[in-house]
Amino acid sequence: MSEKPIVIALAGNPNVGKSTLFNTLTGSHQHTGNWPGKTVEQARGRFDFLGQTIDIVDLPGTYSLAAQSLEEIIARDFIVSDQPDVVISIVDATNLERNLNLTLQILEMTDRVVVAVNLIDEAKRIGIDINAEKLSKTLGVPAVPIIATTGQGVPQLMAAAVDVAKSVRQTAPFRINYGIDIERAISSIEKTLHQQNVLRRSRWLAIKLLEDDPEIQEAFHKGNLSECCPQETEHTFDGDALISVAEQAAYLGEAMNPDAKVAIISQRFRQADRIVHSVVHRQAGSSKNSLTERVDRIITDRFWAWPIMLFMLAAVFWVTIAGANVPSDWLETFFTWLAHVTRQLMITWNAPWWLSGVLVDGFIVGTGTVIAVMLPPMIIFFTLFALLEDMGFIPRVAFNLDKVMHAVGSQGKQCLTCMMSYGCNVTGVLTTRIIDNEKDRLVAILTSPFVICNGRFGAGIALAILLFGANATPVMISFVLLSLMLVFLVTWGLNKTLFRGEQGGFVLELPPYRKPQFGVVIWRTLIDKIGKTMWRATEIAAPASILIWIFGNVPHGVPFSQTLVGRLVHVLSFVGAPLHLSGEMVTSLLFTLPAKEIVVPSLSMTYGLQSSLADSNTLLNSLSHSWSPLTSYTFMVFYMLYLPCLVTTWAIWKETRSWKWVILGNILPLSVAIVVTWLVYNGGILLGFH
């Protein structure tokens, strides 16, 4: 077996099957994380192919390498750094022309390229035949037809990649002729670069300077090419000379009509079109994506789009809520049994009261409550969402809602982050990575906590049934509608104040409808979304539950009013008075910051009805008789809105790396919660509710 692994990078547009190929190759031998210093997720894996160890890196999906988005910068920097021994450019056989635009850019950066023509089965189904051999000769690199979902052609693809990486197979990449004027400018800039000892990728650098690439321009003006061309670090450059080169390129580019940037991009698409016409044959009478087009006439219709989206959203919520009841009861029964068994063991071992309390009533019961409430709905919701995404339905939701979001200064992709926030605000915040525009991404992060997550929704249902009986359903619907209204209002407000400026748009491919890969989707959902989110939630909920128990039982054996919880209730009674929230209510909400799911047991502690987070039946019976409908609704409004949980706060920090946005991400929902709660209570009084 070779000692040095071959590093292969997978590059391609979104929705071309890149991740599917990655999963096919690596199986379970993969790990995910973030690119160094970046919030975009990377996936790496290792496997053996015919005795050769392969390290494979799944680059972010991107339509271009123009460094206009974080994904483009990451993909380009990794390729230009010479870290990969070979780049596999994956293209969609049903949409070859658009995909070749990225491939042609990759060929300008490196000779070590293999093209994987994926989805050839779908192409044949709609009457498209691709001559892979002719495509290979035209591009000057191997082109291998594959079906990533079944593995067809994948061994041949890997064999070609290994041969290119080991220089067993030589390549002669296709070079675009950009026309007399641009080619003359490229040659002039290259000549100047050679005089400055910039020898590698001089043509690519010249093209990027003519395109007015912001990162390349910045590198030249700084006199430091290490970031855009790490291979050139062995030379010392004349900073003034590099600035002169950048200015020369800017002058040459602007002197053209149209300017060089427009001409270069246009020529790439023209070349892609010529290549496609030479290698693609369409059968007579075939209609590209005919099924997709027919379905989209309904799904994206101005009228039918809305009832269809609302029906799908309602169906997902109904299945999630209805389907989670039984497994949640099973988990609750299990943790109750575990707590009982552990308590008996503590008694048998004569363990001190504080150890038994911390372990059983704090850790097992508190953490078990979070898991029992969160895990089943998360599994159902995220799996359904992932399946709809894999089918191609979710991108249509973003497309349909783009006009609505545009009206409040945002874009359709924010709606996708809101949908993910229904499952968990943490996941909603992390999902904002799909938004290219930084302004829109920050707005989406700051508004995600306004969406009622699964934790609040599940606990809210229990409270609503207790407090409102038969009216629980309309009460919960009112909270969902309220949260959506606030998302729109806060988005509009942020874009009119903090984020004033050019409104960001977005490019989102509408992929063809496909049968979802159930196994891959479920596995990816369980590991990447549910597993990670639950682990983070448990990490915070466990110590928080123990702390709450300690607060309710120290000092030991004293009346409730003298415990730490009792004293805290007394102090915080003044804080909630303007909103007609009692000290018990405010303290319980403070305790739920680690995990919103523990609101009922937290209320039990703060009302002094028990010294454990366990069975809360006493509390439920008590509150249903002592709280008025207006008091109940006021408390629930504040509970639904007041602050994001600590895990969500952590996610905001992770995605922004700025305390400014973390603080604003907490102040904003708290301020809105105070205003809305005050309006609800006083409005209720005016309407005669007591």
Is 440 inside any structural domain? no
Q: What does the pLDDT read at residue 418?
A: 82
Tell me, yes or no, whether 199 and 140 share the same domain.
Answer: no
Q: Which residue, 121, 141, 165, sits at the end of a domain? A: 165
Tell me, yes or no, whether 109 and 244 share the same domain.
Answer: no
Tell me, yes or no, whether 121 and 239 share the same domain.
Answer: no
Tell me, yes or no, whether 154 and 75 share the same domain.
Answer: yes
Q: What is the CATH number of the domain that holds 252?
A: 1.10.287.1770
Is 422 inside any structural domain? no
Cis peptide before 258 (omega within 30 of 0): yes
Q: What does the pLDDT read at residue 28?
A: 54
Is 106 inside any structural domain? yes
Q: Which residue, 256, 280, 304, sits at the end of a domain? A: 280
Tell me, yes or no, whether 152 and 227 share the same domain.
Answer: no
Is 137 inside any structural domain? yes
Look at strands 41-49 and 30-34 and give their pairing: antiparallel
Residues 362-402 have pLDDT tens digits of 788 777 877 776 678 778 877 887 888 778 887 788 778 77
Look at strands 6-12 and 113-118 and give their pairing: unpaired
Q: What is the CATH number of the domain that holds 159?
A: 3.40.50.300
Tell me, yes or no, whether 247 and 153 share the same domain.
Answer: no
DSSP string, 304-358: THHHHHHHHHHHHHHHHHHHHHHHHHHHHHHHHHHHHHHHHHHHHTT--HHHHII
Beta carbons of 42 and 71 less than 8 angstroms apart: no
Is 328 inside any structural domain? no
Residues of the domain holding 589: 545-686
Tell me, yes or no, whether 161 and 64 share the same domain.
Answer: yes
DSSP 471: G
Continuous segment of H or E residues that includes residue 427: helix 425-431
Q: What does the pLDDT read at residue 512?
A: 73
Alpha helices (H) in 513-607, listed in sequence order: 518-524, 532-553, 564-576, 583-591, 599-606
* Percentage of residues of the chain with pLDDT beyond 90: 26
Query: How many domains does one find in the chain?
Result: 3
Q: What does the pLDDT read at residue 38?
A: 46
Is 105 inside any structural domain? yes
Residue 685, number of CB atoms within 10 A of its CB:
12
Q: Which residue, 222, 250, 280, sits at the end of a domain? A: 280
Q: Tell me the residue type at 336.
A: T
Residues 61-104 have pLDDT tens digits of 888 887 666 677 788 888 887 679 999 999 999 888 889 999 99
Is 433 inside any structural domain? no
Report the alpha-carbon distance of residue 480 to residue 98 in Å, rounded: 40
Tell me, yes or no, whether 92 and 222 share the same domain.
Answer: no
Q: What does the pLDDT read at residue 238?
A: 67
Q: What does the pLDDT read at residue 1?
A: 46
Instruction: Using 50 as the pLDDT threshold, list the residues of the chain that sit under it.
Output: 1-2, 33-39, 610, 613, 615
Q: What does the pLDDT read at residue 75?
A: 82
Tell me, yes or no, whether 271 and 161 share the same domain.
Answer: no
Tell me, yes or no, whether 570 and 606 share the same domain.
Answer: yes
φ/ψ (deg, to 5) at 320: -65, -50
φ/ψ (deg, to 5) at 144: -120, 120
Tell me, yes or no, whether 154 and 231 share the same domain.
Answer: no
Q: What does the pLDDT read at residue 161?
A: 95
Tell me, yes or no, whether 67 and 202 share the same domain.
Answer: no
Q: What does the pLDDT read at residue 357?
A: 85
Report the alpha-carbon distance of residue 459 to residue 469 in Å, rounded: 15
Is 471 inside any structural domain? no
